[in-house]
């Protein structure tokens, strides 16, 4: 039960329903999720270990605020990890695995063409995770997964212009082409550039959104007018007008 609750809360944080810095009201969350406090508290412990929430001694928990320093430094590490994974995958991936990645890539292209933001994000994350798996290095994949979880909400919330989203899709075209050619060194360079570009977009989006300050300290948390759980609506229907994720 607590893992299911953690999944729900993780998505709510990722998609902006629970804002950075928000104090989490256990009573409200229990009512909304229809669970007791025991699985909720276990779920919060899980999310705290992943960097999604912060447990406050004798004061409950809050959604972990984001800082520019933490975001930039985490992306620096992700850049190296994904680059290395790409080089290893280029040498180790078999034909069937590469064909499956091409299939996921084409599905993602369809989402890009339709402006389906959430499905695009899900497929994008699946592709990156599969490249990590194809590296054949389980330690590398596990390290990346832990850090990547912390960046999910930042990556999803990076709404940018259509030209940038188009460019991100083009970058993925080159990544898949390099993998099919088994060119590990080129794949490494492409992935490192891709992650660097993503970091730039995420930092710019965080600054413009007011989620963090320019010096890296958390901005004031968003609050709901009624003072309850502080939830803000997930941008589903309006995602096309609001912008698109750079992945």
pLDDT exceeds 60 at position 154:
yes
The pLDDT, as a whole number, for residue 219 is: 43
The pLDDT, as a whole number, for residue 238 is: 32
Q: Which two tokens stand for residue 16?
A: 């902006």
- Which residue ranges form the domains of the chain, and what is each CATH number? 1-65 (1.10.10.10), 68-208 (1.20.120.530)
19 pLDDT tier (thresholds 50, 70, 90): confident
**Longest CA span, the chain:** 56
The fraction of the chain above a pLDDT of 70, given in percent, is 83
pLDDT exceeds 90 at position 206:
no
What distance in Å separates the CA atoms of residue 42 and residue 229, rounded to the nearest whole number? 19
* pTM, entire model: 0.73
Which pLDDT tens digit goes with each residue over 27-38?
899 999 999 999
pLDDT exceeds 70 at position 13:
yes
Give me the phi and psi of 34, to 5 degrees please: 60, 50
Which pLDDT tens digit goes with each residue over 122-149?
999 999 999 999 999 999 999 999 888 8
What distance in Å separates the CA atoms of residue 133 and residue 178, rounded to the nearest whole number? 17
pLDDT exceeds 50 at position 228:
no
Give me the phi and psi of 22, to 5 degrees please: -70, 130
The pLDDT, as a whole number, for residue 77 is: 96
What distance in Å separates the CA atoms of residue 68 and residue 85, rounded to the nearest whole number? 25
Give the residue ranges of DSSP H helices in the chain.
2-14, 26-33, 37-50, 68-92, 95-114, 117-134, 138-156, 162-180, 184-209, 239-242
pLDDT exceeds 90 at position 107:
yes
- CA distances (Å), origin 196, targets 56, 100, 130, 247: 33, 26, 20, 11
């Amino acid at each position: 039960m607590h893992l299911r609750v953690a999944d729900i809360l993780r998505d709510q944080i990722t998609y902006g329903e629970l804002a950075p810095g928000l104090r989490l009201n256990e009573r409200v969350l229990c009512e909304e999720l229809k669970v007791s406090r025991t699985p909720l508290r276990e779920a919060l412990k899980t999310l705290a270990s992943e960097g999604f929430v912060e447990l406050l001694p004798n004061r409950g928990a809050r959604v972990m605020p984001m800082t520019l320093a933490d975001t930039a430094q985490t992306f620096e590490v992700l850049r190296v990890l994904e680059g290395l994974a790409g080089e290893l995958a280029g040498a180790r991936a078999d034909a069937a695995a590469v064909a499956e990645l091409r299939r996921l890539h084409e599905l993602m292209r369809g989402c890009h063409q339709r402006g389906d933001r959430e499905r695009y994000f899900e497929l994008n994350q699946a592709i990156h995770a599969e490249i990590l798996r194809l590296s054949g290095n389980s330690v590398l994949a596990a390290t990346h997964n832990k850090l990547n979880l912390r960046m999910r909400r930042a990556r999803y919330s990076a709404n940018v212009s259509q030209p940038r989203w188009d460019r991100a899709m083009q970058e993925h075209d080159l990544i898949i082409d390099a993998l099919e050619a088994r060119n590990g060194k080129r794949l490494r360079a492409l992935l490192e550039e891709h992650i660097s570009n993503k970091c730039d977009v995420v930092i710019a989006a965080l600054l413009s959104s007011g989620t963090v300050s320019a010096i890296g300290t958390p901005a004031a948390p968003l609050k709901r007018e009624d003072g309850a759980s502080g939830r803000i609506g997930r941008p589903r229907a309006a995602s096309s007008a609001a912008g698109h994720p750079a992945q």
